[in-house]
């Protein structure tokens, strides 16, 4: 695996080797502290492209909370070994200035409702930062396809919208959520959970599964009330939100009739660690 720190080197290699030979490039942007969730994106990219590029960059622009940025887990050595072991071709490992040169002025984006709800509402500026870094990385890597996890469903929708608005010639490939054996969605943040909290963390997925199995018998509002009450009984958790939203625009769903696809989205703190997860209830279904 090639490890590249400078965007100029990456651009040179990709144009001289990739473009000249008409090779397809799959791209997996990450913030590191890699796990099998990231691994699944790399594997998918490898199966669909000639070259797979992964990047690791903890993007300060997308953290509205400085201490969250500082506490974000990092282990470049372990990540590099993992990427080697799964056969990633190129790792782009930039520093701050390589991504944001001195005097850099971020673009302003308008994603409408997509950035006003859920993560957008609770993490002001988060998606502006995500969109800016992804736009810059796409401009450097110029991928044929880019891979994003449904774990961050709202982020995936924002990126699809970004690509559409700016006419970026890349295919966005959504990838299913990879979970631990007990159902907890894999996340770099899970490493920050205390052992006792880790044992309880699967409660989020239990609630999502309950919603998926029972939604048909209740209204969306009743489902949300059920989940809120269930969280109130778990003193270790502090529920930030539970939302039921349409898959295409993430507008709140207040009835199932005429809804063509909906998911449940949860953000909750457990021992000071913020966890998010979601489940698709149905697609293309109109009662």
Tell me whether residue 185 or residue 262 sits nearer to ligand AMP (CB atom): 185
User: Tokens 């890349």 correspond to what residue?
Assistant: 170
Is 177 a residue that touches ligand AMP (CB under 6 A)?
A: yes
Is 178 a residue that touches ligand AMP (CB under 6 A)?
A: yes
Residues in the chain: 287
**Which of 7, 18, 26, 30 is close enough to bind ligand AMP by CB under 6 A?**
30
| Burial classification of residue 133, based on how many CB atoms lie within 10 Å of its CB (0-12 exposed, 13-18 middle, 19 or more buried) | buried
**Which of 18, 37, 143, 263 is close enough to bind ligand AMP by CB under 6 A?**
37
Structure tokens at 60: 């300060």
Is 31 a residue that touches ligand AMP (CB under 6 A)?
A: yes
Is 187 a residue that touches ligand AMP (CB under 6 A)?
A: yes
Contact 209, 279 (CB under 8 A): yes
Instruction: Tell me how far apart the alpha carbons of residues 233 and 89 are, in angstroms, rounded to a whole number.
Output: 47
Contact 33, 75 (CB under 8 A): yes
Tell me whether residue 177 or residue 223 sits nearer to ligand AMP (CB atom): 177
Please state the separation of Cα 142 from the chain's center in Å: 20
**Which of 88, 137, 186, 250 is close enough to bind ligand AMP by CB under 6 A?**
186
List 90's β-bridge partners, or say none: 2, 53
Strands 90-92 and 2-4, by their bridges, are parallel
Contact 34, 82 (CB under 8 A): yes
Contact 227, 266 (CB under 8 A): yes
Residue 248: active-site member: no
Binding residues with ligand AMP: total (CB under 6 A): 17
Residue in the shown chain whose Cβ atom is closest to ligand AMP: 149
Each residue 105-144 as x (binds ligand AMP by CB under 6 A) or -, in order, gives: ----------------------------------------
Q: Which stretch binds ligand AMP (CB under 6 A): 13-21, 32-40, 137-145, 192-200?
A: 32-40
**Active-site residue, selected from the candidate residues 38, 104, 126, 248:** 38
Tell me whether residue 120 or residue 220 sits nearer to ligand AMP (CB atom): 120
Where helices occur in the chain by DSSP H, the ranges are 7-13, 36-48, 66-71, 76-85, 96-99, 118-122, 126-141, 153-165, 195-200, 203-214, 220-232
Each residue 146-175 as x (binds ligand AMP by CB under 6 A) or -, in order, gives: --xx-xx----------------------x
Is 185 a residue that touches ligand AMP (CB under 6 A)?
A: yes
Is 44 a residue that touches ligand AMP (CB under 6 A)?
A: no
Active site residues: 38
Binding site for ligand AMP (CB under 6 A): 30-31, 37-38, 40-41, 148-149, 151-152, 175, 177-178, 185-188
């Amino acid at each position: 695996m090639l490890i590249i720190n400078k965007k100029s080197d990456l651009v040179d290699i990709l144009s001289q080797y990739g473009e000249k030979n008409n090779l397809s490039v799959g791209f997996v942007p990450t913030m590191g502290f890699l796990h099998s969730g990231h691994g699944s994106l790399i594997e998918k990219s490898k199966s669909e492209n000639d070259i797979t590029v992964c990047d690791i960059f903890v993007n300060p622009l997308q953290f509205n909370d400085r201490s969250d940025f500082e506490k974000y887990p990092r282990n470049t050595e372990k990540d590099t070994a993992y990427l080697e072991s799964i056969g990633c071709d190129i790792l782009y490992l930039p520093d701050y200035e390589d991504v944001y040169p001195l005097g850099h002025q971020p673009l302003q984006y308008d994603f409408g409702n997509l950035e006003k709800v859920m993560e957008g509402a609770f993490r002001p500026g988060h998606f502006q930062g995500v969109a800016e870094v992804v736009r810059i990385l796409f401009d450097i890597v110029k991928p044929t396809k880019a891979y994003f996890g449904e774990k961050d469903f709202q982020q995936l929708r924002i990126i699809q919208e970004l690509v559409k608005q700016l006419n970026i010639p890349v295919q966005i490939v959504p990838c299913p959520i990879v979970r631990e054996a007990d159902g907890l969605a894999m996340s770099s943040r899970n490493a920050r959970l205390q052992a006792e909290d880790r044992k309880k963390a699967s409660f989020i997925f239990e609630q999502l599964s309950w919603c998926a199995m029972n939604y048909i018998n209740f209204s969306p509002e009743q489902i949300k009330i059920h989940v809120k009450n269930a969280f109130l009984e778990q003193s270790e958790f502090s529920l930030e939100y539970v939302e039921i939203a349409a898959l295409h625009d993430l507008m709140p769903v207040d009835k199932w009739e005429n809804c063509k696809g909906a998911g449940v989205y949860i953000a909750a703190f457990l021992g000071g660690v913020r966890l998010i997860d979601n489940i698709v209830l149905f697609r293309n279904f109109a009662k």
